Each structure stands twice: as C-alpha cells, then as structure tokens.
Amino acid sequence: MNLDKILKELAGDHQELKIMEVCGTHTSSIFKNGIRSLLSPEIRLISGPGCPVCVTPASYIDKAIEWALTPNCVLLTFGDMMKVPGSEKSLSEAKADGARVEIMYSPQEALKKAAANPELTYVIACVGFETTIPSYALVIEQTERSGLTNIKFLTALRKVMPALDFICATDNEISAFIAPGHVSTILGSQAYADLAEQYMKPFAVAGFEGEHILIAIYDLVKQVENHKHEVHNLYPSVVKPEGNAVALAYISNYFESGPAFWRGIGVIEDSGLYLNQKYRKYDAGSADLAGDAAQKTTNCRCGEVILGKINPDECPMFGKACTPAKAQGPCMVSSEGTCGIWFRFTKK
C-alpha cells in the first residue's frame, strides 16, 4: 500500500485507539511532521517514558551536586542534565554557586582528563537507557585497563522493558505501542514478544522519519482492528530480531539489575542497572539512590505525562510557571522531554 492510501485510511473512521510512542525522538518527529493532524480523531497518540533525563530522580541530581562540591572532585555531565531540578537546585544553579561541573560530549573525555590531572577525581554522570549504557561500559573497561584510580561513575541507568511491563500492567487503555527505535537496535525486536503475548498488545518497531511513523501507526491500527497482538519490525535496516550481541554482552559484563526509582512514577523492580561486584570500586554511590523519592513538592505533573495519563497542556503549569527557560519538571528540560517538545511546537 502506498503512502497516500495509508494517509486516507488513517484519516477515516476507526474505533477509539490509544497508541503510545515510547521514544522522545518519535514524539519530536510526530510534531515535526504534523502527524497528529493527519489522523482520525479516534486515533490518539500519547508519549511514554522514553526520555532518560525525564525519569532521573531528584536525589540523583542532589548526589551529583554533592560530588561537584567535594574538594578536588569534578562532575562531568552531558548538557541536557544541567537544568534538571534536584530537590533544592539544578546542576546549573550549583555551578553558579561554585560547584565544579563540566559538560562532556563523550564519557571517554574522562580518561584523558583523569590522566592529565591525577590530583582530581572525575565523577561521570551516567544517565540513559540501553542505547547509551554500552558506551559507559566501554569507559569502565578502559579505566580498568589504564590503571586510573581517579574516575568514578554515578549511574542512573534504566532498562526499558520493565517500564513497559509496568505500563502494560497498570494501564489497560493503551491499545498498542510504537517501540523505541534506538533502544531496539540494542535489545532487538524479539525483546517485545513476551509483553505482546502476555498483555495482548501489538508492538511496531519504527524508524524516525515521518513516513516510518505513519506506516507503524497504520500497522498498529490494523492489528488492533483485526484483534492481533504481534511484534512487527518495520525498521529492519537498523534493528535486528536478536539485537546487538556485542552491546548486550558489554551491558551484562559490567552491570547487574536492581530496583530503581523513576521520577514521577516510583520504584520499578529490576529496572535499574548498577555496577556489578567486580567493578563496584568505581561506583560513586549510585546503588544508595535506589528507591529514594526525594523531590521538591510542586504542582508538576510530569509523572502523569510520562505515563501517558495526560497531555502536557493539561498540566496547570505548562507554558506558564513551567517553560524551557524556567523548567519546573524534567519533561520541560530535555530535548527529548514530552513537555519541552510540546512547548516548542505549540507555543510559538
């Protein structure tokens, strides 16, 4: 079927459907390509918890600031973490107050810095899903080989599958899922088979072009209307059924699973990855943060946005007290955060 026919069918009459796009990059592409306006009103797209910055707890930010204020320590972080609120302040605010925070473009920068400045300890803020976790594992391997003792890893690493399991178990209204394309390159399309079978929900792995997403939506609509719940890999040029074996081996060699606190959601069992016993000497206190719910009380409804319970513009703070320039919640901070995406495309 060509794209014109797909568009015509998607604009026609349908039963009410609620399709979750898990990945923030999919959300951004949906807005960029005006996909919502092309769909029947009965087909509702909702965003999921696919932004790692958005689910990083406030207690993690607090711990990172603590390290940045420790004498002879430097915190290295990606730029999108700088404005995420902690329980009292963000890394950006802490830096303004004198904390030693440096933005990194790759965690491997720590190796060169640590070798050049042995009097300093470099703490890498490691945040992300399976897509980025292998890169941190590689740096741990290189740290071990180099003999450097002045690098530590403060991790808030999250596994996508337990979060999807949590959503499937607690929300019967979601009809189908656009599986996250980036994470799927690591986990493989087969990773969703058990969830599809257990909860009778169809999954479609999609690329990030507008056409890719429209085809995935069409596939899911047809599956739901035909009472099917299969996993379809619509991104086979990048995503293999079995995933990336090398990357998966790196993850399993350096990390072990445990419970983890997802900001706005709570603790999800088995959803965090922590340095295993052999490499725990490099840990900067990550495991102690599991289950810690420290967070400033506000009217922020990021938790409901992440779970697809509400759209960002249903939060009373959206576009008023909460904007990208003065974010009250992590979903407004990150480039992949649902609130930030909605603001960029709807508040011009």
What are 66-100's pLDDT values in tens digits?
Answer: 999 999 999 999 998 998 888 889 999 999 999 99
Do 211 and 7 contact (CB within 8 A), yes or no? no
β-strands 266-275, 255-262: how paired?
A: antiparallel
Q: Which residues contact 168 (CB under 8 A, 6 or more apart)?
A: 174, 195, 198, 199, 201
Give the model's confidence band at 309: pLDDT under 50 very low, under 70 low, under 90 confident, else very high: confident
Check residue 296 and give its pLDDT.
53
Residue 103 has a CB neighbour count (10 Å cut-off) of: 15
> Residue 258 pairs with which residues in a beta bridge?
272
- CA 335 to mean position of chain CA atoms: 11
Do 69 and 343 contact (CB within 8 A), yes or no? no
7-17: average pLDDT: 92
Amino acid residing at 197: E
Least confident interval from 228-237, 291-300, 316-325: 291-300
Prediction pTM value: 0.90
Check residue 327 and give its pLDDT.
82
Identify which of 128, 204, 213, 202 has the alpha carbon closest to the alpha carbon of residue 168.
202
Check residue 44 and give its pLDDT.
94
Distance, CA of 38 to CA of 36 (rounded, Å)? 5
β-strands 101-103, 203-205: how paired?
A: unpaired
Identify which of 327, 234, 236, 314 has the alpha carbon closest to the alpha carbon of residue 44.
314
